[in-house]
Every structure is written in C-alpha cells, then in structure tokens.
Amino acid sequence: MQRDENELESEPVYEIGEKVRLRKQIKNDGTFPGRDLGEILAKKGEIGYVSSIGTFLQRSYIYAVHFLEKGIIVGCREKELESAEENHESDVTSG
C-alpha cells in the first residue's frame, strides 16, 4: 500500500471465517497484553481464521486472526496475510 493510499476506499480483502496464512512472523508491538514487547506471537506460514475485521487510523483494515493451535487472536494487516483457501480471488491476482 502506498503511503497516501486508503485501504478503506475498497472492501476488505479477507472475510470473517476465511482461512489465512501468515506471510511473515508477528511480534508483539506492545499491543498484545500479557506478552513481552518483541515476543514472537505467530510465525510465518502459520494458519489461522479471520474472526473479525476492524480499522486502524481510518486508513487500514486490521484482521483479527484466531490461531487455533496457539489459542490466541492477533491483529494483522493485509500485507501480512495470504489466503489459505483453495479458491480465493486474490490468489490469482497476487501471484
């Protein structure tokens, strides 16, 4: 996403209940309670499910992803995720 681009001008890429895979590891940036700053919350390649969709700074979607095996829900940005569904529209366009 370009710095001046507003994701909220279009629909969310992922849907609630959609199976997604992390494209990079996610560390605690200080917003995950009960965990140390910088602690790895989820690793690249882990699978989770979108449980809700919120916004950040009125510019970006934040996807709450439930990682069932770990029992945690982590907020992720679109660029940190890819669909793990077999027939997701963005799989074809994102290459």
Q: Residues 32-59: pLDDT tens digits?
A: 888 999 999 999 999 999 999 999 888 8
Query: What is the rounded CA–CA span in Å between residue 2 and residue 23?
Result: 19
* DSSP 8-state secondary structure symbol assigned to residue 33: T
Ordered by where they begin, the domains of the chain are 18-83 (2.30.30)
The average confidence (pLDDT) of the chain is 86
Q: If you count them, how many residues does the chain have?
A: 95
Q: Kindly report, residue by residue over 18-33, the tens digit of the pLDDT.
A: 999 999 999 998 888 8
Instruction: Give the CA dihedral 58, 79, 95, 15, nearest 10 degrees.
Output: -60
* DSSP 3-state of 9: helix
Q: What is the pTM of this model?
A: 0.79
Q: Does the pLDDT of residue 90 top 60, yes or no?
A: no
Dist. CA 81–CA 13, nearest whole Å: 10
Among residues 40, 38, 39, 43, which one has the least CA distance to residue 22?
43
